[in-house]
Structure 1
Amino acid sequence: MTLTQLSYIVAVDKHRHFATAAQKIYITQPTLSMQIQKLEDELGVLIFDRSKSPVVPTAMGEEIIEQAKLILSGAKHIEDMVAVQGETLRGTFRVGIIPTIAPYLVPLFLKPFIEKYPEVELIFEEALTAEVLKGLNEDYFDVGIIATPTEQHMYERDLYLEPFLAYVSSNHELAKKDKICIDDLYKEDLWLLNEGHCFRDQTMKLCKKNNEKRNKAPIIFESGNLETLKRLVEQDFGVTLMPYLAMNEQDNSCTNGIVKEFEDPIPSRKIRLVYSREFLKQNLIDAFATVITDSIPKELESQEEAMVIE
C-alpha cells in the first residue's frame, strides 16, 4: 500500500469516473486502474463497484477512502512542516481560484512570482466558490481566491476591490451615455453566467427585481464563460456586466462592444485570499498575497467611492 495508491482512490471517489480522475491527476487511465486493482488485490476487498455509472465505492470502500483521506492529510502536513523551514520558499502550493478571476488575474502575477520563488511549484485549479471552500476544508487546496465572504471557519485576506463594468452593444441605448448607473440595469436585458457563479449572483443583486420587459430578441442564454458573453454583446445583443480585469486590455476600436463605467458609488466586488490553516505555509501565503497586490493595476489600489456587492 502506497500514498500514491491512496491518492488514486480518493481521486476516483471525487470524480466518480476513472478516466476523469486520471485526467485530473495527470496520469493515464490504465495506470490508475492498475494501481487501484493492485491495492484491492493486496487488501482482498473491492473498493469500487465498477458495474455502476458513475462508479461508486462499496461499503468497505467508503471506509477505506475516509481513512485514506486522513492518511494523505497527515502526510501533507509533514511535507508542509518541512517546506516552511529555512529562508528559501519551496514546495507545492495548490490554489483554487474561481473562473471569473483566474484568466485575468493569474497572468498578471505568475511570472513575477516564479522569478522570485523558483523553488515553489504553483498548481492552479479553476473551481466554483463552493468547490474551492470544499477543497480547502479537505486540505486539497492550500489557498483559494474568491469574490465573496465565507460563512465557514476560514482565514481571509483582502487582496483588492474590483469594479463592475458594463459591456454594451454599439446600438444599445446605454451606448449613448457617458457613464451608467445601477438604475439603468434590467435583468431581462442582461446576459448572465450560469447558476453557481458568484458573479451572476452579484449581478442579479444590482438589477431591479421588478421591471418592465424590454424590447429584445427572444433569446435565453446563460454561459459559464465571460468571454462567451462578450461575444454575444459584440453581435449586437444586449448588455452584460464584467469585472474590471476582464476588460482591462479591451480594445473597443476592434469590436462592436463598448465598455461603460458606473457612476459613483461604483459597484465592486472584493477579491479575497482564503485558507483554512493559519500556521502552515504562512510564509508562502504572505509571499503569494504580496506578489498579487504588487502586480494588480494601480487604479485598483484605492476606491473610496466603491459600493461592495457581496
Structure 2
Amino acid sequence: MTLTQLEYIVSVDTYRHFATAAEHCHVTQPTLSMQIQKLEDELGILIFDRSKQPVVPTETGQVILAQAREVVQAARRIPELVKESKNEISGELRLGLIPTLAPYLLPYFIRSFIGKYPAVTVHVHELLTDQVIDKLKNGMLDVGIVVTPLPDSGLREFPLFYEPFMLYTSPAHPLYQRDRVTADDLLTDGLWLLSEGHCFRNQVMNLCGQPLRGAQPLRYETGSLETLMKIIDKQDGFTLIPYLATLDMPTERLTRVKPFVDPQPVREVSLVTHRSYLKKGLIDALQQEVLGHMPAELNRWEKGMVVSL
C-alpha cells in the first residue's frame, strides 16, 4: 500500500469517474486503474463498484476511503507545516462563498488580500451551502464563507460577524409606509423568496415562524437577490435582503429598505473548514483580511437574535 494509491482512490471517490480522477492526478487512466487494482488485490476487497455510473464505493470501500482521506490529509499537512515555520504565505487557496454573500462581501477584501499575498493564487467559487460543505469534505475547497451554525460536526466554524436582515419593498406595497417592520409583517401578502436550496430562503421561512400565505401569481425560481429586487421595483411585493446589500444602493432604492424593530434578526457569517483542514497559515491570513476590511457598520451588531438555517 502506498500514499500514491491512497491519493488515487480518494480522487476517484471525489470525482466518481476514473478518467477525471486520472486527469486530476496528472496520470493516465490505465496507470491510475492499475494502481487501484493492485491495492484492491492486496487488501482482498473491492473499493469501487465499477458496474454503476457514476462509479460508487462499496460498503467496505466507504470505510477504507474515510481512513484514506485522513492519511492523505495528514501527509499534505507536512509541507504546510514547513511553510508555517518559515512564515510563508503561498500556494493555492480555494474559497467557496454563498450567493447572498459573494457579491456584497468579496469586493471588500479580495483585492487587498491578493495585493498583500502575491504568491497566493485564489480560486473563488460561488456555491450553495450544501455544495460548500460537500466540497470541503472531499478536499475540493480549502475554506468556505457561509452562514452558520451548520448541522455538521465534521466542520470547524470561525465566526466573522453578525449581519442583520433588512426588508426591501415596492413603493406600492403597504409596508413601504412603515419606518420599521416586525417578523409578523412577513406574513403579509407579497413576499418573494429565493429558490429552494438557498440558506437565505430557509432563514426567511424560519423568521416567519409559520407557513406563508398569499402566493405570488408569478412563480419565479431564482438564486439572485438582485433579480428579486428588480422584479419588486417594477411589479409589487417585498423580500428580505442582507445588510451588506444595502451599502452601495442609490438613494432611491434606500427609501425602500426597512429595518426590523429591536432586537433585530441577524445571521452569523463564518469561515468554515474541514476539521482536519490544511493551509492554516493561508486561512488565518484570509480571516484577518476579511475582519480588517469588512464595513465598520457591521461591528454594531452582536450575537443576539440569530436566525438558524
- Structure 2 vs 1, CA of residues 10 and 163 (structure 1 numbering), >3 Å: closer, same or farther? same
Output one character per residue of 1:54-112: Cα deviation in whole Å (capped at 9) or x when no partner. 5325869x68x938756643442233223323123222222232222122211110011
Contact preservation (8 Å) 1:40, 1:47: no
Matched residue type, 1:273:
L
Which of the residues 261, 264, 280 maps onto 1:263?
261
Identify the residue that residue 55 of structure 1 maps to in structure 2: 54
Identify the residue that residue 288 of structure 1 maps to in structure 2: 286
Matched residue type, 2:29:
I
Identify the residue that residue 140 of structure 1 maps to in structure 2: 140
- Structure 2 vs 1, CA of residues 127 and 9 (structure 1 numbering), >3 Å: closer, same or farther? farther
Contact preservation (8 Å) 2:9, 2:36: no
Separation (CA, whole Å) in 2 of partners of 1:251 and 1:186: 28
The aligned runs of 1:129-278 (5 Å cut-off) are 129-151=129-151, 152-186=153-187, 189-209=190-210, 213-214=213-214, 217-253=216-252, 258-277=256-275
* Structure 1 residue runs without a partner (length 5+): none
Which of the residues 1, 26, 29 maps onto 1:36?
29
- Specify the SS of the correspondent of 1:191: coil
Contact preservation (8 Å) 2:48, 2:57: yes
Separation (CA, whole Å) in 2 of partners of 1:231 and 1:279: 40
- Specify the SS of the correspondent of 1:189: coil
Shift of 1:143: 2.2
- Specify the SS of the correspondent of 1:39: helix
Matched residue type, 2:259:
E
Identify the residue that residue 43 of structure 2 maps to in structure 1: none
Separation (CA, whole Å) in 2 of partners of 1:35 and 1:127: 30
Identify the residue that residue 302 of structure 1 maps to in structure 2: 300
Is 112-121 or 186-195 further displaced after alignment?
186-195
Is 162-171 or 277-286 further displaced after alignment?
277-286
Q: TM-score, normalised by structure 1?
A: 0.77
Shift of 1:10: 5.4
Identify the residue that residue 121 of structure 1 maps to in structure 2: 121
Contact preservation (8 Å) 1:18, 1:33: no
- Structure 2 vs 1, CA of residues 111 and 39 (structure 1 numbering), >3 Å: closer, same or farther? same
Separation (CA, whole Å) in 2 of partners of 1:147 and 1:106: 15
Shift of 1:292: 0.4
Aligned residue pair count: 299
Matched residue type, 1:266:
Q
- Specify the SS of the correspondent of 1:192: coil
Contact preservation (8 Å) 1:84, 1:90: no
Contact preservation (8 Å) 2:190, 2:216: no
Shift of 1:301: 0.9
The percent identity for this pair of structures is 41
- Structure 2 vs 1, CA of residues 163 and 98 (structure 1 numbering), >3 Å: closer, same or farther? same
- Structure 2 vs 1, CA of residues 4 and 203 (structure 1 numbering), >3 Å: closer, same or farther? farther
- Structure 2 vs 1, CA of residues 218 and 271 (structure 1 numbering), >3 Å: closer, same or farther? same
- Structure 2 vs 1, CA of residues 264 and 85 (structure 1 numbering), >3 Å: closer, same or farther? same
Separation (CA, whole Å) in 1 of partners of 2:7 and 2:99: 25
Shift of 1:5: 10
Separation (CA, whole Å) in 1 of partners of 2:250 and 2:219: 27
Output one character per residue of 1:143-165: Cα deviation in whole Å (capped at 9) or x when no partner. 22121213414332221111111
Contact preservation (8 Å) 2:155, 2:272: yes
